[in-house]
Every structure is written in C-alpha cells, then in structure tokens.
Structure 1
Amino acid sequence: MRNLDGAHMRLARPTRDMDAAVRFWVDGLGMTLQGRKLEDGAPYAELAFVGWPEAAWHLEIVKDAVVSPNPTEEDLLVLYLAGPIDEALIGRIKAAGGAAVEARNPYWNEHGVTVEDPDGYRLVLSTRDWS
C-alpha cells in the first residue's frame, strides 16, 4: 500500500451565496483565497478554494444550480487551535456573517467555540490540540 502521510485533503461544501461564503472563510477566519472560477456549461456554476498555504488541506466551495446546502448539527469542521480562542477572531467571524451557536455535543462547548457559516455548516474552534 502506498504511504498516504503526505496526501493533501480537499473538503467540498455547497453554498447558496459564494460571496458570503468566501467572506466568512477569508475575512472571518483569515484563510487565503487560493482560487476562484466560473464554469460555464458545467453543472456547478462557480468554485472557490480557500485554506492556509502551509496546510495539508483546503476547502472547496461550490455554488451549484442543483445541489443546495443541507447541513445538520453534526456536520462539523473542527480546527484544533491548541489554546484559548481569541475574542477578536470570534468578532471577525461574526462580522463576516458567522454566528456563535451552542454545540449539539456538550464536549465542544467545554473545549471550544462553535460557529455557523452563512449556509448553516458548523465550524468548531477547539482549544484542544490534535495529539
């Protein structure tokens, strides 16, 4: 079997409003817009890629004519920040269209802050570290 330690991961999510989604991830969370394009004639109308240049993953945001966001309270993207959550970060996320919410699982309320993006998907900023 091939060693997958260095593999890059792409997470994809649909959006109703590409500008609002990009604003949330870039202005709110501080990610980099790595690319954005329109796809005329494709089933999806617009794509954007956001992330941190040094990360081994990125988020693909898709505005699609057919697929619409349908998040649940357990559709979580968890970022392990290994320390306290900066209130200025939460303020930027809220200003960029995010909303602080109670987590369905109380574990995340104890160990971080949960926010919803403009499409209702949840992001947990965890005070824990991955190890």
Structure 2
Amino acid sequence: MTGDGAIGPATHVRHARPSRDLAAAERFWTEGLGLSVLWRTTERGPGEHDLVMVGFPGGSWHFELTRDPERPLAPTPTVDDLFVLYLGEPVAEELVERLVAAGGRRVPAHNPYWDEFGVTVEDPDGYRLVLSSRTWG
C-alpha cells in the first residue's frame, strides 16, 4: 500500500457471506479444503451475529461466514457464483473426496470451461468452489 488509499497486490481480501449452518460450512472449508479458523465469535449483543473466519494464517484472503440467529439470511448462490483456486496441477482426487466427505457435493460446472480445466464442488450453502488445474498469471 502506498498510504494514499490505493489498492494493490498486497491488499488483504475478506469475502463475507451468510451461512445456514456455520458448523457445516466450517467443516467444509477446514477439514475439506485445509483452511484454518482465524477467528470465531458467538456474541449476543445488539447488532452482533455468529461468525467464523477461515483462511490461511498470514494469507492475503479469507472467508467470513456469518449467521444472525435472530434475523437469518438464506444464502442465495447462483451456479455462476464461483470461488476459483488455481492449483497449477491436476486436481487430486483425494482432495475432492475430502471436500465431499466434509459436506461438499461435486457438481458439473455451469460453464464447461471449468469442467475441462478443473473440478467444481458445492459447499453446504450451495456456493461453488472451483479447483482449477490451470495457473493464473
């Protein structure tokens, strides 16, 4: 960062979205994908909600999965709401099996490009994770 409000390659990214079941979502992203729990809260103050943040310690991105038990929001993913990880190698079947065992569901991609160059797995809330065999950049 340059200090002038510029966004750059080192900018940290938080992707926040609601979850029907935080325990199920956490299991998918940690046991399935291998992320770590970075923060968790179940505060019950005004305007507070339950959340779990998952990512890689020291990483530049993480997910904030939220659930407001008093005013729950239903996740509303579409078949083209994708979180893509570029692995740069063939997708290990063991990884896909781990994601499925942790509550995911392997699905055909809406865009056939992702079936040609990877594997798509829906998380317990219906959001899609694409494991791409391609590289980025």
Q: Give the TM-score taking structure 1 as reference length.
A: 0.94
Please state how far the C-alpha of 1:13 moved relative to its aligned partner: 1.4
- Rounded Cα–Cα distance in structure 2 between residues aligned with 1:108 and 1:3: 29
Aligned to 2:112: 106
The equivalent residue for 2:94 is: 88
RMSD: 1.3
Partner Cα distance (2:107, 2:93) in 1 = 15
SS at the partner of 1:12?
A: strand
- Structure 2 unaligned spans of 5+: none
Query: Would you say the 8 A contact 1:15–1:21 is kept in 2?
Result: yes
Cα distance 1:81–1:56, how it changes in 2: closer, same or farther (>3 A)? Answer: same
Shift of 1:6: 1.5
Indicate which of 19, 28, 32 corresponds to 1:28. Answer: 32
Total equivalences in the alignment: 131
| Distance in 1, Cα, partners of 2:83 & 2:31 | 18
CA distance in 1, matches of 2:7, 2:14: 18
Higher strand share: 1
Residue 35 of structure 1 deviates from its aligned partner by 1.1
Q: Which has the larger displacement, 76-85 or 47-56? A: 47-56
Corresponding residue number in structure 2 for 1:49: 53
Cα shift at 1:52? 1.2
Normalised by the size of structure 2, how large is the TM-score? 0.90
Unaligned regions of 5+ residues in structure 1, if any? none
Q: Report what 1:5 is aligned to.
A: 9
State how far apart, in whole Å, the 1-side matches of 2:32 and 2:106 are: 12
Q: Give 3-state SS (helix, strand or coil) of 2:125's partner.
A: coil
How many percent identity over aligned positions? 51
Amino acid at match of 1:5: P
Moved over 4 A (4+): none
Moved more, 93-102 or 46-55: 46-55
Question: Measured at CA, do residues 125 and 8 of structure 1 come closer, stay the same or move farther in structure 2, by a change above 3 Å?
Answer: same
